[in-house]
Amino acid sequence: MKKILILMLMSFITAASLSAEANYRNFDELKALLESDADDYLFLDVRTGPEYGAGHIPGAENISYNLLPGALPEGTEKDKTIIVYCRSGNRSGTAKRLLEKAGYTNVHDFGGISRWKGDLE
């Protein structure tokens, strides 16, 4: 009986780890996505235009958090992967909550731009 419980637990853990999706809070995960050929995501810098212009993570589009969700590209699917970041993580957290409240189900908060270890544009 004990062996059966252990095997069931191991199967559950394995299945859970295989189905775990990336959360893009980690530099390496985000960098790999940005360097891939994937185009089924939105990567948003939710700071102001001047902040974005002063330097942003390559590949990011700028939509200020206070314009969300209305300023998303027309036809954005509710299950599309959306990754947000800002200066410190405060506005990106707000952006994530706004998008989720609007029904978007696959929103990830990278946090602050200081977490990015690569070059800025």
> How many domains is the chain built from?
1
pLDDT score for 22: 75
Domain span at residue 55? 22-115
Whether the per-residue pLDDT at 4 is higher than 70: the answer is: no
Sheet holding 81-86, edge to edge: 61-62, 41-45, 81-86, 107-112
CA 24 to chain centroid: 5
Residues classed as catalytic: 86
pTM for the whole structure:
0.81
> Do the Cβ atoms of 89 and 112 come closer than 8 Å?
yes
**Domain containing 55 — which CATH number?**
3.40.250.10
Residue 14 lies in a domain: no
Q: What is the pLDDT of residue 63?
A: 98
Per-residue pLDDT tens over the stretch 72-111 = 999 999 999 999 999 999 999 999 999 999 999 999 999 9
User: Which pLDDT score is estimated for 95?
Assistant: 98
